[in-house]
Every structure is written in C-alpha cells, then in structure tokens.
Amino acid sequence: MATTRLGDFVNVDSVGEHVAKLVDGWASVIRCKAECYGGLACNRIIVVVFRDFYEPHPEDNYAVWDSSRPMLCEDCALRLRLLNPDQ
C-alpha cells in the first residue's frame, strides 16, 4: 500500500478528495453546503460518518447522516449569520 505524506497534497481540496476515496463504501462524507443557504460554495468536509457504527433506529426522529444532507461548516454558518459568535 502506498503511503501518502502531508507534503504530497497540493491544497485542502486534495486532502478532502483523498479522504473521500479512502472511506468510499464504508462511510458518508458530509460536506459543507453553504450554497444551499445562499452562501458561497465551500464543500469543506464537516464529518465522516462510518456506516457500520451509526445506524439510527427507525423510531428515532434524526435525519439520516449522508452526503445529501445540507449542513454547514462553522465558518460558513458564522458568515451567513446562522450562528451567534458569542455562544
């Protein structure tokens, strides 16, 4: 197996793509979807949810954590004034 070092990545986007490839089929990669809320496209990885470890019970009211769920990173939420910076 080839090893990848930090210096091998050109930017943060290439790190995100590498993570997405590593977890393909095993996890959902949740990315920032600020454009759904009127912000600029960010696409930053927020969380990687491994499917083997998270299976909501059918009676739970939680939404399924997958890549289609619109979520924001903290920076975009602050920029869009959806979070109070004092909290």
What pTM did the predictor assign? Answer: 0.61
Answer yes or no: is 86 within a domain. Answer: no
Answer yes or no: is 84 within a domain. Answer: no
Distances (CA, A) of 74 to 35, 61, 68: 14, 24, 18
Answer yes or no: is 73 within a domain. Answer: yes
Say if residues 48 and 28 touch (Cβ distance below 8 Å).
yes
Number of domains in the chain: 1
**Average confidence score pLDDT of the chain:** 77
Tens-digit pLDDT profile for residues 39-61: 998 888 888 877 666 555 555 55
Answer yes or no: is 5 within a domain. Answer: no
Answer yes or no: is 87 within a domain. Answer: no
pLDDT grade for 65, boundaries at 50, 70 and 90: low
Residue with tokens 């496209």, as numbered in its chain: 41
Sequence-distant (6+) residues with CB within 8 A of 20 are: 29, 45
Answer yes or no: is 24 within a domain. Answer: yes
Domain span at 72: 11-79
Q: What's the rounded Cα separation, in Å, for the pair 38 and 69?
A: 16
Tens-digit pLDDT profile for residues 19-38: 888 888 787 788 889 998 89
Answer yes or no: is 16 within a domain. Answer: yes
Answer yes or no: is 4 within a domain. Answer: no
